[in-house]
Structure 1
């Protein structure tokens, strides 16, 4: 589904402070549909905190976040959960998959949890896994290779056709070949599907694939220039 008419992601005036440390200081960021932005910075600089704020898992002290044309800051938990399921897709560093389920079951889960039809969810999950080169048979997810698990995590993030795709160190635990495949998949898929991709990473070779790179230091997010 092409989402080039979607507003993508907009972060404005975001502030987050904890235990005397300012992790996000008046952060401004916009990611258009089909565009990719990588955020780099040292460990503990607040990169993952930024993603958790966008997901609505951390409440900032100030600022607004708009995803897919809907402001998500200040929503009640039930409203936020609904918007998150329909608007945001998340790829975690270690996949955060259920190893005792098959890849198809893992990928279909977001639709099933939202009350979708079992048959439709499994059909779409199988299509995505086939497209991404993951065996969709009866193999348990825990038996897959690292690269296959990450591709499964990407498929799970994409099954709801999100306006905004988030990725937290998605290649950090992979070998060089698997890292290359997952990075290429993320950036290509976001561009082709018209999702706004926000990725945080320590790996500058992965960040270099993005349309833009920002660096987060001392709570300040600044563009590092076109790469």
Structure 2
């Protein structure tokens, strides 16, 4: 992946995203849509994976057939909302190694504070895909990528459902080597740091909390 930002404009992605944005969509339906859309986004974020071949036997003959090369990729969920995207991607790539980064925002400084970090070994040899539905201010995403790089990750991609221009810029400034894949680049952030038009708080809508 060469470009910094990829917006997936596939009709199914856009249709499902519209249903997710609607205020009247229930928690159960929201969760199901998130799982479905994350699989479609995973298809895009995993494009260009390294390939090799192996000899297999079909019912007709032997052949050299393409398979993924290298170490199993690592999926890193940025808690808590990242878990919704993680589930769908894991269905598509069940052999992936999984890690978690827990960050919360300090209400006074507005800076992200780490409370949990558990990731697979040998990150330097794996493609690492960090998932979080919302790229808003970009502060927690940048902090999560900082931690992953400290842990050895060199080949990182970031997958989100919605991005704000401010978050994309912040990521580009801090981590220009990390491509972003999203379903939509929305208009802006409001004064509370929410993406507009957005879909509200992804974690609250996914888990039925307020």
TM-score past 0.5 threshold: no
TM-score class, shorter-chain normalisation, is 0.3 to 0.5
**Superposition TM-score, scaled by structure 1 size:** 0.34
Which of the pair has more CA radius of gyration? 2
Structure with the bigger RCO (C-alpha within 8 Å, sep 6+) is 1
**Superposition TM-score, scaled by structure 2 size:** 0.36
